[in-house]
Amino acid sequence: MAAKYPRLFKKWVYVALSLLIPLLFLTIIFASQNKEGDANQAPADANAESERKQKAAEEKKVPRPEHTHPAFAQRIKEREEMVATQIQARDINDPNVLKAMRIVPRHAFVGDREQDLAYADHPLPIGFDQTISQPYIVAFMTQALGLKPDSKVLEIGTGSGYQAAVCAEIAAEVYTIEIVEGLAKSAEELLGELGYPNVFVRAGDGYFGWKEKAPYDAIIGTAAAGRVPPPLLGQLKPGGRMILPVEGRLGFQYLVLVTKDQKGNLSRRNVMPVQFVPMTGEVTKPEGKSPK
């Protein structure tokens, strides 16, 4: 056929080539664009992987509380009733605080004689002339701090460790100081057994705070002082909040909420009359005698 119709054959060859050449050209362009797209996508994937690893490292650096101890699975209904009747009914509405109060097993922080009253609406003795605070007061003070998952907290007066555990359920790190060495030791052991790797306990005078770990987003005091210790004001981060009981001249105690704005200016107000055990140590000295 090619010999018989040479002109017609050449014509069809030209038509075929005119169609194939543009198609081939488009195929090369499309493949090149895909290759560029893959090259551009690689850094994004690498960045995502880097961010994932960084996040994992940060999460590993700040351990969260564990709830594997048997105490967390015990007396759950009592804690739920405590939160509903003693706390939520009194306008404590921070969901993080309510959740923490439901989780932390208060009965693990009181002695055998007080087990029947572990979830009662009042403080209980814990030895050394100290007490574990009323559940409502613990919740009120925790809510006043406005804790966030990345907050660093300083507690003055570890006591049994209950308040520290509640804060540790919300915040990233809790540094707590107890002047009674026996209580500091027992609280550290108990918090370790219960699975609170983000709580750090020190035996010492809370008046001076924990300077090496400052500044703090929140500071909480669980013993009544005659004044707000100046070192604690210095260790409070701009934008931070501090709450602690302060005893006035006539012996009346009030929870005092101290806030520091971003410029470092302080403001304070009385928020509730209370009755706490007295703070001991440096704070009992006349104001002019304490080191600044």
User: Distance between CA 122 and CA 100 in Å, rounded?
Assistant: 18
Q: Is there a catalytic annotation at residue 18?
A: no
Q: For residue 134, give every residue at least 6 positions away whose Cβ sits within 8 Å of its Cβ, in sequence order, or none.
A: 121, 122, 123
Instruction: Please say whether the beta carbons of 245 and 224 come within 8 A.
Output: yes
Catalytic residue among 50, 133, 160, 186: 133
Closest alpha carbon to 145 in 121, 168, 119: 168
Count CA atoms within 13 Å of residue 197 on its CB side: 10
254 φ, ψ (degrees, to nearest 5): -135, 145
The residues annotated with a catalytic role in the active site are: 133
